[in-house]
Structure 1
Amino acid sequence: VENVPPEVPPVENVPPEVPPVEIIPIEVPPVETIPIEVPPVETIPIEVPPMETIPIEVPPMETIPTEVIHPTPIQPTINNEQVVNNSSSTNDNI
């Protein structure tokens, strides 16, 4: 007996029918904003004990007399010849 292939009828490209899919909207219920109650925080006073003022003993300072030497005032010496030569009328460099 020879290997006889069974006769297979030719298969046409038959597209399977896909029914159109409807877009079903999903209903989302509105979310309520739930307020979170925050209890008021009490301000707890912190007790600070009063500090004693500790006196600091300052020993009395001796007053050391300082001799003040008055400097002799320096009087500016004005040379009258320079004042005369500074006038613009006697300027020979023009």
Structure 2
Amino acid sequence: MLHIRKYTPEPLCRQILRVDAHGFDLLMKFLQYEGKDRVSAADALKHPFLRTISVKCHNLCDEQSVLEADGVQIERELLSADHHHSSRRHHQR
């Protein structure tokens, strides 16, 4: 017989610390289980979180990196052992 341990889930907002309220709101809209409840690509592009990214990002050529746009950078982040990424991309306001 398979025994599955019961645990108390930790709120997602405690796992994602470097995203502001707009970013977290958009993430939750992307993660809706039901497709009809999920944000569309068109609506996501109108979301305040993505509107803060420089207009230059929307006009980049296919060969260009998003890092070439104004206000976008990579910052090194020290993570605990339970995380798998050593850096994270984000944008500045």
TM bracket (short chain): under 0.3
Bigger Rg over Cα: 1
TM value normalised by structure 2: 0.14
* Structure in which a larger fraction of residues adopt strand: 2
